[in-house]
A and B are shown apart, each in its own frame.
Chain A
Amino acid sequence: MSLPLQQKLIVPGLLLAIVIPAAIGYITYQQGMENTAAAGWVGHTYEVRAKVQVIYTQLAEITSSTRGFLINGQEEFLGPYTVAARDIGGRLQELRKLTADNAEQQKRVSALEALVARRLTYSQALLDIRRKQGYQAAARITARGEGLQIMAEVRELAAAMDTAEQILLQRRITELRENNRRTQLLFLGLAGSLAAVLLAAVWLAYRNAVVQQRVLDLTEQARAHSENIVNTVRTPLVVLDSDLRVQSANRAYYRTFLVSAAEVEGRAFHELGSGQWDIPGLRHRLEEILAQHTTLEDFEVERDFPGLGQRIMLLHASKIFRVGNNTETVLVAIEDITARKRAEATLTNLSRDLQRQNTELQAVNQELEAFTYTVSHDLRAPLRHIHGFSHILTEEYGPRLDAEARRYLARVEEGADRMGQLLDDLLNLSRVGRKELTLQVTGLNSLVEEVRTELQPETAGRQIDWRVETLPFVECDPALMKQVLANLLGNAVKYTHPRERALIEVGHLRQNGQSVIFVRDNGVGFSMKYADKLFGVFQRLHRQEDFKGTGVGLATVQRIIHKHGGRVWAESELDQGATFFFTSCNPAAPLETIEHANGGHR
């Protein structure tokens, strides 16, 4: 049963508890009244019967008194007659009043009055005859028996009236009994209802008590639960009363500040420990919390705590209203932020270091750029002059020089040429390193074709068998990817030079789910024990006289592939050709953005 329903039942229940006793009272009163009325009716019946009896008796007295006078003629015998004759009219009047509610009886009363009148007239006549004509004349009239006849009619009439009254009484008693029985039933019903209402009230009260007990149990459980939480929580908590004295503290407080409950409870907050919380600003703020409903947030306290050393604590406080005893308290939560502060300081330092390093790095980068510019401009200029003038010397003064001098001049020119090439390659390498990638989906086959066209001066007059597979489209920087292919294909052309028929393959295979591009040749190859030197700057595995080169090409290839997040490696055997592989991507920039529809055609 829900509480609202109980509440709804209270008013009707209360009304029933009032109405039912009132009804019982009313019914009881009503029955008493009816019984009184019934008793009245019984009395009335007896009164009627008595009245009839009196009238009959008086008539009998009139008869016997008349008879006495007739016999001895003495007037004193007529005393009872005179009294009865005088009163009987009043009696009849009373009887008529008594039976006023009953028309039948009224008719009988009228008949009785007529008989009484006849009897009185008859008696009067007898008395007159006796006085005037004597006994014999009167006796003759009596012998006719009229007096007896009147009395017989009166008896009959009285009996009828009596019977009528009896029947009436009987009927009233029966009605009363019936009425009493109904009333008793109603009484019983009402009493039963009252009992039910009382029973319900008692049951509700019992239930209420049970619920109340359960609420109390739950409240106690909740209190225990919250106390458990407060004690389990790792933040030190203190509850202060309105005088800022410690009401209680949790386990974390005792543990953190190395104190016991006895040392803390009941003492003023600012007196705790070494007076660590005795800070005028803090006390003022705590007082404000109670007075002005404010809260205290992030109040930092840095000092030497007994047994803990130098610490930084962060205080938060707010008002708590305790319903139980209607008191206001202040909950203070204390957070040890020493470690965090130190970490922050370290982080700030690190970040400052990083900032400085970054600035330094930028300066170095700028220096590098300036240097590159100088190399590009200032070193190339004298080189150009050396080359230019030695060339003019050879051209214009060659005929006047001997062969040795001309050979030396040629060496000067070659040296300047090579240095020019070296500078160009180095600058390119540095530019590749600094350049931002401009990624776009590029068909590798078209790049291979462009490179082959540009290699025509070197391949002219040579027998080269090109086998280029259908290559994928990849997301890459097309200019840089072209440099990769130009270097690899250029190398393949260069190192197959000794072969009568060169074979150069460009293909594509899958390895560990990655797309790998390879360039294979049947050239002079290299020994794998020098493979680690292959991609280093200025590292060469061949003599300049055999194969010209600056040793920067493969370093550039590696730098470009690394910039694309890919990997480059080579496999070879001396005099057995070489294969260079590369993946030009990391998983975030898949090599095969669009796989070519056609398969390879090897």
Chain B
Amino acid sequence: MRNDDSEILLVEDSEDDVELILHSLRREKVANKIHVARDGEEALDFLFCRGAHAERSRERPPGVVLLDLKLPKVDGIEVLRQLRAEPSTRAIPVVILTSSREEKDLVNGYSLGANSYIQKPVNFDSFRETVKQLGMYWLVVNVPPPSGAFPRAEGRT
């Protein structure tokens, strides 16, 4: 795959889901490094290179964020809000990947600038097909913004 070097950030609290998603991605031969965050706070630390991820370079944002909505500590909608509020992370593609098909989640997600909204199917074949198409689209078809195109405004907090 073309964007082999860019990382995928998977934000998902369910261990089972993490395993099923990783299994599917591996099966589809996705070679990108996949970082898993188990709650909203960890996801934000990773994205903003702080806390446990303070040594991470801001110059290399993830190629795509797969975001669950129902998360411990900070929920997915809040993660999305902070991500979009910050210039250096504003352009990162975000795919909401959730069990919920509630209208209010859909509306919230899109209005905060989610790039896609995908409901995890119960059927594993469909699930795998969805993950495959996701990978194809965001890691092969889609052209990501150039790194450093949206620098973090220094001196501003």
Contact = CB atoms under 8 A, between A and B. Distances in A.
A225 B14 CA distance: 92
Contacts of B99: 376-378, 380-381, 384
B100 A376 contact: yes
Interface in A123-169: none
Interface stretch (B16-24, B59-67, B143-151): B16-24
B122 A384 contact: yes
A299 interface: no
A387 interface: yes
Contacts of B14: 381, 385
A389 B16 contact: yes
Interface stretch (B1-9, B42-50, B77-85, B123-131): B123-131
A398 to B, nearest CB: 14
A376 B127 CA distance: 16
Given A377-B70, A381-B14, A388 B20 contact: yes
B20 A384 contact: yes
Interface string B7-45: 000000010110010010000000000000000000000
Contacts of A378: 99
B125 to A, nearest CB: 7
A200 to B, nearest CB: 99
A238 B14 CA distance: 85
Contacts of A413: 124
B124 A384 contact: yes
Interface string A379-404: 01111110111011000000000000
Q: Specify the main secondary structure of chain A where it touches its partner.
A: helix
Contacts of A419: 122
B124 A392 contact: yes
Given A384-B120, A384-B127, A387-B122, A392 B23 contact: yes
Contacts of A380: 99, 120, 122
Contacts of B98: 377
Given A416-B122, A420-B122, A388 B16 contact: yes
B102 interface: yes
A265 interface: no
B121 interface: yes
Interface string B95-121: 000111111000000000000000011
A421 B126 CA distance: 13
B20 A385 contact: yes
Interface string A427-439: 1000100000000
A100 B108 CA distance: 145
Given A373-B100, A376-B99, A380-B99, A387 B123 contact: yes
B121 A384 contact: yes
A391 B100 contact: no
Nearest to A418: B122
B62 to A, nearest CB: 24
Contacts of B122: 380, 383-384, 387, 416-417, 419-421, 423
A63 to B, nearest CB: 170
A550 to B, nearest CB: 13
B18 to A, nearest CB: 11
B102 A373 contact: yes
A413 B121 CA distance: 13
Contacts of B70: 377
A175 B104 CA distance: 132
Contacts of B123: 387, 417, 420
Nearest to A386: B122
Contacts of B121: 384, 420
Nearest to B103: A431
A417 to B, nearest CB: 6
A91 B115 CA distance: 165
B72 to A, nearest CB: 14
A419 B123 CA distance: 10
Contacts of B124: 384, 387-388, 391-392, 413
A512 B140 CA distance: 61
A19 B106 CA distance: 112
A431 to B, nearest CB: 8
A36 B121 CA distance: 150
Highest count of chain B CB atoms <10 Å: which of A382, A388, A421: A388
A388 B127 contact: yes
A384 B17 contact: yes
A417 B122 CA distance: 7
A298 B120 CA distance: 69
Nearest to B98: A377
A378 B69 CA distance: 12
Nearest to A387: B124
B31 to A, nearest CB: 21
A427 B101 contact: yes
Interface in A402-424: 413, 416-417, 419-421, 423
A421 B123 CA distance: 9
Highest count of chain A CB atoms <10 Å: which of B17, B20, B127: B20
Contact of A385 (B17, B101, B102): B17
Contacts of A391: 124-125
Contacts of B16: 381-382, 385, 388-389
B99 to A, nearest CB: 4
Nearest to A369: B102
Contacts of A387: 122-124
7 contacts: A381-B99, A384-B99, A391-B124, A417-B123, A419-B122, A421-B122, A423-B122
Interface of B: 14, 16-17, 20, 23, 70, 98-103, 120-125, 127
Given A372-B102, A384-B122, 5 more contacts: A376-B101, A377-B70, A384-B124, A389-B20, A420-B121
Q: Which 8 A-B pairs have the closest CB atoms?
A: A420-B122, A391-B124, A385-B16, A388-B124, A388-B20, A377-B99, A380-B99, A377-B100
